[in-house]
Amino acid sequence: MLSTLMLDFFADPERFIQHASAAQWTQFLQQARQHGLSARFYYLLQRKGLLAQVPQQVQQHGLSAARYAEKQQQALFSELQQLEPLFAAAEYPCVLLKGAAYRCRALPVSYGRLFADIDMLVPAAQLRLTRDKLFFYGFQEVGLSDYDRAYYLNWSHQNPPLQHYQRGTVIDLHHHIYPTASARKIDISPIFSHAEAMPGSAFKLPKSAHLFIHAAVHMFYQEETHKLQKDLIDLNDLLLQVQQEQQLDFMLQQATLMTVQSAVANACQILAEVFANPAAQHCRGSMRLSKAQPLVCYLLLSMLRGDGIRAWLAQQLWFVRGHKLKMRWQVLLYHTLAKPAAAIQQWLRRTLHSDIKRR
């Protein structure tokens, strides 16, 4: 069973502080570091006026992480300034996604957030042109086998990651929010049509409703579980933001247009149960939202709260389900056989090459 200290804290920080023991604070700090949430918890305590109520060591840990996160966020804006001329000259939109969009919109979910990469969305027809332009800005694909690169280009929803040769910045260049190998067809045109210009910039930013929808799709239509708690905390903050901006009805309408009702319904079901999120409870009662999928929600809750065997089994089923959703069965069968075969072939080439060099 996963420890739910992180979820308990972000669901009700005041109650957590009142009942946490020294051992729990130690475990909490370890988990916060592991999930990249050290600065997030510090800013939440600061925003709610609770910093003085936590142990000094916890404050110092959070403050150090917050300073590091602030430097990262400054680096993000510096990188976007470097890229501004490229997209200012482009005749097509470039929409920032995920963490970059959260930060540029100054959403609470971005406070203390750490960045591994910058996610961008461009029209599919302009993907190759954008990649080629980024090459002349110093970005290149690194460390991929031929098979993995072909997988990205033919079946994924993005170009292989692009890394700057000097600054080390990584760009995930998307042409969709979901793999094209899937039988599920998601209409992303509303993200482009409703995106808002970032003041003083050529970059565009999605509406909060679309940021939540994207996060829900990422969680409930894929197989990843290594950031499960962090992703749930993000979803919770995003839905509260959607409610604050009075976009709940708009979000439900967009979920229908984009054909992702089940992802949004499942997200609302889980957020209502784990965080007692009032916006999620409102959406669950809406006639516009389809019913959540009981088995899917059960699997996710089992990974969070189940014992060893139950949680392990839920994780395996989630993994299989995610791959089944991401790929049509023909693609999945080919990928299952071809990827290990390609790895063996690459190993044999390296071995033969090494033998020849020794001779």
Average confidence (pLDDT) per 10 residues, the chain, 359 residues: 80 93 93 92 94 94 94 92 94 96 95 91 96 95 84 89 93 95 93 95 97 97 90 96 96 95 95 95 82 93 87 93 84 71 70 64
How far apart CA 250 and CA 242 sit, in angstroms, is: 9
Q: Which residues are CB-contacts of 321 (< 8 A; sequence separation ≥ 6)?
A: 223, 296, 299
Quick one: which H or E segment has residue 67?
helix 56-88
pLDDT (0 to 100) of residue 69: 93
Q: How many helices (H) and strands (E) does the chain have?
A: 17, 7
What per-residue confidence (pLDDT) applies to 287?
64
Alpha-carbon Rg for the chain, nearest whole angstrom, is 22
Angle at 109 between CA 22 and CA 269, to 5 degrees: 85
- Is pTM beyond 0.95? Reply is no
Q: Rounded distance, CA 110 to CA 170, Å?
A: 18
Structure tokens at 129: 């042109």
Q: Round to whole Å and give the CA distance between 143 and 148.
A: 10
In whole angstroms, what is the distance from residue 110 CA to residue 258 CA? 25
Beta bridge partners of 170: 163
Query: How much is the pLDDT for 94?
Result: 97
CB 211 within 8 A of CB 251: no
Nearest to residue 325, comparing CAs of 293, 285, 302?
293
Per-residue pLDDT, 289: 79
**Angstrom distance (rounded) from CA 184 to CA 262:** 12
Neighbours of 155 (CB within 10 A): 18
CA distance 350 to 343: 11
Rounded Cα distance between 2 and 232, Å, is 13
pLDDT at 132: 95
